[in-house]
Amino acid sequence: MAQSRQTIFLMGDPSLVLELGEICHQAGFAILYKPASGKDSAPFPKHFKKVNTIPRTVFVLCELSLDRELKKKNLLFIDKAAGASAVILSSSITVTASEQASWIRRPSRLVGISTMPTLLSQKLIELAPTIHTDKAVMARVQEFFARLGKELAIVQDRIGMVMPRILCMLINEAFFALTEHIASPQDIDLAMKLGTNYPRGPIEWADQIGIHSVVTILEAIHDDLDEDRYRIAPLLKQMALGAQWWGT
């Protein structure tokens, strides 16, 4: 087996590149990454090798941004630079895998994945193949995740997928409660952990995921389903713009 089969290329959201990169590193892959805007926004460990182009011998490529424009730009780069037989795994929480596949020359090699900070390290990853996805591509994707020790769940290709949508809506509800000053953030988290056995409180979870990512996902769901049900809590929107919570 060629050495290059052991290499994975990552680009996109730095925190996700870091989180998935570490998981791949643990599983014995060599990590190549291309920084988001030419320079590092976060210091990456030494075993992450920065590259400006993709060696033709890398077979698994991951695009991990939530922002639509950035994702398009990155995917067009990957599609052009990567070898013909490489498969593309792309985060499909905010843009469907089907739409992303329509941007590139060979849509059959793209599969959507659920990548959300704090969930990536868990045991399972959701896969959203499109109607174009090649069976051989799916087989290689499954083999790749088996090597990472991940279980897989194949879901329909929809904005928000399964866990990101449920989790972001829980967080949104907690922020509506906070916006309305019904309880303190500490008490909200405590109540959900002790009262319903949630693994983390929704507010601390939002902090760990990154408020900006939560809002980006909720905006995509709101745009897609176009229902009042998915409108974003005012406080959450403001915090995504850099505000701090100062309530009682």
Sites of contact with other proteins (CB under 8 A): 114, 119, 122-126, 151, 153, 155-156, 158, 161-163, 165-167, 169-170, 172-174, 176-177, 180-184, 187-188, 190-192, 194-200, 202, 227-229
Considering beta carbons, is residue 136 or 153 the nearer one to other proteins? 153
Considering beta carbons, is residue 77 or 198 the nearer one to other proteins? 198
Considering beta carbons, is residue 70 or 183 the nearer one to other proteins? 183
In terms of Cα–Cα distance, which of 95, 26, 43 is closest to 64?
A: 95
Minimum distance, C-beta of residue 109 to other proteins, in the bound complex (Å)? 23
Minimum distance, C-beta of residue 179 to other proteins, in the bound complex (Å)? 12
Distance of alpha carbon 48 from alpha carbon 7, whole angstroms: 11
Considering beta carbons, is residue 60 or 163 the nearer one to other proteins? 163
Considering beta carbons, is residue 197 or 244 the nearer one to other proteins? 197
Three-state SS at 89: strand
Considering beta carbons, is residue 58 or 128 the nearer one to other proteins? 128
Minimum distance, C-beta of residue 21 to other proteins, in the bound complex (Å)? 19
Strand (E) or helix (H) holding 154: strand 151-154
- Torsion sign, CA atoms 10, 16, 22, 27: negative
C-beta of residue 90 within 8 angstroms of C-beta of residue 112:
yes
Strand (E) or helix (H) holding 111: strand 110-113
Minimum distance, C-beta of residue 227 to other proteins, in the bound complex (Å)? 6
137-146: long-range contacts, CB 8 A cutoff, minimum separation 24:
137/87, 137/108, 137/109, 137/110, 137/111, 138/111, 140/59, 140/60, 140/87, 141/87, 141/89, 141/111, 144/60, 144/87, 144/89
In terms of Cα–Cα distance, which of 61, 16, 56 is closest to 36?
A: 16
Considering beta carbons, is residue 67 or 126 the nearer one to other proteins? 126
Three-state SS at 113: strand
Three-state SS at 193: helix
Minimum distance, C-beta of residue 158 to other proteins, in the bound complex (Å)? 5
